[in-house]
Amino acid sequence: MEFQWINEGELRRDGEAIEIIAPAHTDFFCNG
């Protein structure tokens, strides 16, 4: 899996949990 905005956001891995902080302008997490 590749994240095209990986350089624009932040990817942190804590153990088995992966937390992705995406830029505000991305609609990758469009919930509404």
* CA dist., res. 32 & res. 29, Å (int): 9
Q: Give pLDDT tens digits for 2-32.
A: 555 555 556 666 677 766 666 666 565 565 5
Nearest-CA neighbor of 8 among 24, 31, 30?
24
Contacts of residue 7, Cβ cutoff 8 Å, sequence gap at least 6: none
